[in-house]
Chains A and B, each alone.
Chain A
Amino acid sequence: MPTIADKLAGLWPEIVMLLGAVACLAAGLSASARTRRLTPWIAGGTMALAWIFALWTGIDADHPLGLGGVVTYVKCLVLVLGLVLLLVCAGVPEGLKQTAAAEGARFDPGLSVRGEFYFFFLLSITGVMLTAGATDLVWLFLALELTSLPTYVMIAMTRDRTVAHESAVKYFFLGALSAAMFLYGFALIYGATGFTEFGPIRDAVAVSSETGLSDPSPLMLMGIVLSVLGLCFKVAAVPMHVYTADVYQGAATPVTAFLAVVPKVAGFAALIMVLHLLGLDRLPEPVLYLLGAIGVLTMTVGNVLAFVQTNLKRVMAYSSVANSGYMMLGLMAGLGVPGNALGNGPAAVLFFLLAYGFGSIGAFAVIAALAAQRSPDGADHTDATGVADDLEYDDLAGLWWRSPVLGGVMLVSMLTLVGMPPLSGFMGKFFLIGGVLNAGFYGLVIVLVINSAISAGYYLRIAMLTFFGESSSAPAVILPEGRRGPRVVGAVIAGIAGLLIGGLPGNSVVRNAREAFEPVPAPASAEPETVQAAADESTASAPAVARSQAAGLADAVPTP
């Protein structure tokens, strides 16, 4: 029975993140302007340090569901995406009118939001890491809320317009609804099994001897269904996708990039954990039908609605919906054969998250670095963060010829999202389709391919426009150096990453994703005795000490 002390031993990356978040909060309120400007650097350093800690603490071999590898993979994944997102988002609080007012002649800490922005940024990512590491339903719920709550504030505070507040309120209320749904689901799971810990819940679910599939009680099944539906909000999948376009459009574009990636990683990590309570390899038929229906509806609704939009942020919002649909199918594909990445659906989802993440971040970063100048009255339509909310297809016309860097990143991002062969998006879809085919869902594969064709319509339209488009009115201008922050650097890194992980480095990522679902191998060593000794030593050290301490505590505290 793992105790709190055991769990804390694996939480060093999260502890580092929390301390770094507090440091950001303090630095943002510092009296010295130099210290205040350091805040984004502290946030970046914290994430880099947390990444090292995540690798250092290693894979938890005692994970109750045997998913210790997934935990480490998701933690590293979200930290890598977080570092790129930080480049895109840095400069957002600095560009606000409010910050200019706060940092005028005399610094007014009451008005400043600089520290708070990076604080919430780090907290949300910490929430994803805790979601991945959850071993208990209560913990999972709290971690998911830690992911979402900061995002509501980030949307509201990074724009001087009421439309942002509207988005934040919409997101908040629908988020609360979804939280209520999956919490109800968790309560039913607890009611059906009598446990909140993952391990005992999994043991309590019966497995049918005829089919080899899980045979949960109706109450347990209802719990899983409600949890999945609630989590659909986090990943923006079909019954809970309605907020996506409005919220993504209303938020400042760098924050939109954050919304499109971070809650989605949390949602899929949570879905993998919740579904693995039944066993990803032996999901019962009702759950398969549910996932299949959500997947098909999500990708179709997302792609069709993206096709008819003209506002670029809305197009990308529905593209984000559609991509969730593809990944839903991956969840139902089962784990396949150990040692073979092709056929492991959830591993494909983990890889696809990375490919989708870089593609999306690249596209949003390019949109964030541009400002529309279409207004007939000549007024500047950008707001204080230097982000236009009304960027449309025409604004991208001939972007390549004005800025090869931004045009190139846009092209790579679009081709990644379409799934062109040399790029990471292709590998993602390849492994997803492989998994679904392996599981024998041929109809779903056909739907997926048709949807990819629809999505090519709007992705390639953007890609074509950046090269050959001729705008009738004045196209978007690139924001000046002082107003765009480092987001062009973020865009370039996202683009390069999207290119690279489609090639050879992608193989190792895919291998990592696949190995994440396999039992932790014993440490490689020539001498069997040293392996034994090392194993003895490692079991005798930290966890055992912690356990004995906890046992001592249990004796010391009088039982009522």
Chain B
Amino acid sequence: MFGAVGVLLLMAVSFGVGNIVLTHLLGPSRKGEVKGTVYESGMNPIGSARRRFNVRFYIVAMTFLLFDVEIVFFYPWAATFTKLGGPEGDGLAGMFLVRMLFFLLTSVIAFTYAWRKGVFRYD
């Protein structure tokens, strides 16, 4: 019964380990002081934390969140949607499609608002 889970685990682990091994074997090996430092999302890991950086990072993160959360809502809906169309679904499929489209519309409004405000302009 848990064999499938075991296979999934094995695949996950081997994908991760395999990538590291393959990169090590195939990739070019350039070592340097900067390359050896801790990865801190593109920031310099040493020095004062009280420095300015562009507010755009936050805006991009928030815009990402908008669509991320949307997908989280989509998933359970999509999983049950096919059952709503059948005879036991009582013809609710149309109503639920419209509801999800309304939800999608709210995200689209947020997206167009962000677009109009110039969130995606990088000049």
Would you list which residues of chain A between 42 and 85 have a CB under 8 Å from chain B?
A: none
Answer whether residue B89 sits at the interface, using C-beta atoms and an 8 A cutoff. Answer: yes
Residue of A22, A109, A556 with most partner-chain B CB within 10 A:
A556
| A555 proximity list for chain B (CB < 8 A) | 88, 90
Indicate the size class of the contact surface on chain B.
10 to 19
Assembled-state Cα–Cα distance A25/B117 (Å): 11
Taken together as a complex, chains A and B put the C-alpha atoms of A48 and B95 apart, in Å, by: 30
A29 and B95 form a contact (CB under 8 A): no
A29 and B95 CA atoms in complex are apart in Å by 32
- Indicate whether A522 reaches chain B with its CB closer than 8 angstroms: no
Q: Which residues of B contact A110 (CB under 8 A)?
A: 117-118
A residues 12-27 in Cβ contact with B at 8 Å: 22, 25-26
Name the one of A29, A109, A556 contacting B83, with C-beta atoms under 8 angstroms. A556
71-108 of chain A: CB within 8 A of chain B? none
Looking at B83, B84, B89, B116, the one whose CB has the most chain A CB atoms below 10 A away is: B116
Closest to A552 in B: B90
A109 in contact with B117 given A22-B109, A557-B83 (CB within 8 Å): yes
Tell whether B103 is near chain A: CB-to-CB under 8 Å: no
B113 on the interface (CB 8 Å rule)? yes
Task: Give the docked Cα–Cα distance between A109 and B112 (Å).
Answer: 12
Q: CB distance A557 to B95 under 8 Å? A: no
A29-B113 contact in complex given A109-B118, A110-B118, A556-B84, C-beta closer than 8 Å:
yes
In the complex, the answer to whether B113 meets A556 with C-beta atoms within 8 Å is no
A-B contacts at CB below 8 angstroms, number: 32
Task: With CB as the reference atom, state the residue of chain B lying closest to A109.
Answer: B116
Q: Tell me which residues across on chain A come within 8 A of B118, comparing CB atoms.
A: 109-110
Does A286 have its Cβ within 8 Å of any Cβ on chain B?
Answer: no
CA distance A430 to B70 in the complex (A): 53
Q: Closest CB of chain B to A546's CB: distance in Å?
A: 11
Contacts of A26 in B (CB 8 A): 113
B54: CB under 8 A from chain A?
Answer: no
Task: Look across to chain B and name the residue whose beta carbon is closest to the beta carbon of A119.
Answer: B113
- B44 smallest CB distance to A (angstroms): 29
User: With an 8 A cutoff between CB atoms, is B92 at the interface?
Assistant: yes
Task: Give the contacts of B80-113 with A (CB-CB under 8 A).
Answer: 80, 83-84, 88-90, 92, 95, 109, 113
Q: Quick check: A29 and B117 within 8 Å, CB to CB?
A: yes
Closest to B118 in A: A110
B83 contacts A558, CB within 8 Å? Answer: yes
Task: Give residues of chain A (531-560) contacting chain B, Cβ–Cβ below 8 Å.
Answer: 549, 552-553, 555-558
A552 touches B92 (CB 8 A): yes
Known: A109-B117, A110-B117. A556 touches B109 (CB 8 A): no
Report chain B residues within 8 Å CB of A549: 90, 92, 95
B90 (CB) vs chain A CBs: closest residue: A552
Are B88 and A556 touching (Cβ within 8 A)? yes
Chain B residues with CB under 8 Å of A556's CB are 80, 83-84, 88-90, 92
Tell me the complex Cα distance, A428–B71, Å.
Answer: 51
Distance in angstroms from A111 CB to nearest chain B CB is 9
For the complex of A and B, list the 8 residue pairs with the smallest distance between their C-beta atoms, beginning with the closest: A552-B90, A110-B118, A556-B89, A29-B116, A109-B116, A110-B117, A557-B80, A556-B84
CB-defined A-B contacts under 8 Å, sample of 10: A29-B113, A29-B116, A109-B116, A109-B117, A549-B95, A555-B88, A556-B84, A556-B89, A557-B80, A558-B83
Sample of 4 more A-B contacts, CB < 8 Å, known A109-B116, A555-B88, A556-B90: A109-B117, A549-B92, A556-B83, A556-B84
